[in-house]
Chain A
């Protein structure tokens, strides 16, 4: 089955600096890679996603890159703000027999220091 590795598990950055979280996956059939942000005590929320036919996607201060050959994808947050502090999860997904098989990474706790 799919195996998603995510690192680092914790990340502290100064406000205004950039943060990068990296994930690798094992199943070359995975074709959809969402990222979720979970603030303390809240639900995970989809913040950005990328499909296997795209190499990079950007939405304001966040961007995601995908290298299909190397089977890794990354989340980049620029100009970090205290409200970016949260746990971030990557995931790899593939359609299979009419349903979606999603494997999550273990999460990265990001702390933005004011």
Chain B
């Protein structure tokens, strides 16, 4: 049973296209996140949702739009893709308000050409 699953695993697309990445967790966690990992491996928070509500929205271009239809799903839609969007995107979930570690998804490697 995959706890946090992301699709697709790989995504190669041309500049200017629009794409979506889907994430689902079956852990019953309240909070879900999107992180971007660049080529230097730095993990940068993009968004956080708690029970379908947006609670963290870091400085991310508005071409990125998250959507949480329910607390088990958090999708990421990206409009007008740019070369600099190439990275690995990780979905994660955790149980709050108590601090607990994240469970990460397997990641989506996005390559914009």
- Give min CB distance, A108 to chain B, whole Å: 10
B96 & A98 in contact (Cβ 8 Å cutoff)? yes
Check: A49 CB closer than 8 A to any chain B CB. Answer: yes
The segment out of A15-23, A38-46, A55-63, A72-80 that lies at the interface is A38-46
A102 & B42 in contact (Cβ 8 Å cutoff)? no
CB within 8 Å for A32 and B99 given contacts A43-B105, A100-B31: yes
B104 & A44 in contact (Cβ 8 Å cutoff)? yes
In angstroms, Cα B97 to Cα A94, docked, is: 9
Q: Is the interface of A mostly helix, strand, loop or mixed?
A: strand
Check: A81 CB closer than 8 A to any chain B CB. Answer: no
B99 & A95 in contact (Cβ 8 Å cutoff)? yes
Number of interface residues of B (CB under 8 A): 24
In angstroms, Cα B42 to Cα A109, docked, is: 12
- Give min CB distance, B46 to chain A, whole Å: 13
The interface residues of chain B lying within 8 Å CB-to-CB of A101 are 56
- Pick the contact of A99 from B31, B41, B43, B101 — CB < 8 Å? B31
B48 & A99 in contact (Cβ 8 Å cutoff)? yes
- Give min CB distance, B60 to chain A, whole Å: 16
The interface residues of chain B lying within 8 Å CB-to-CB of A44 are 43, 90, 102, 104
19 A/B residue pairs, CB under 8 Å, sorted by A: A32-B99, A34-B102, A42-B106, A44-B43, A46-B103, A87-B41, A89-B43, A95-B96, A95-B99, A97-B55, A98-B96, A99-B31, A99-B96, A99-B97, A100-B31, A101-B56, A107-B41, A107-B42, A109-B41
List 4 tightest A-B contacts by C-beta distance, closest first. A32-B99, A46-B101, A43-B104, A34-B101
Q: List B residues at the A interface (Cβ < 8 Å).
A: 31, 40-43, 45, 48, 50, 55-56, 90, 94, 96-107
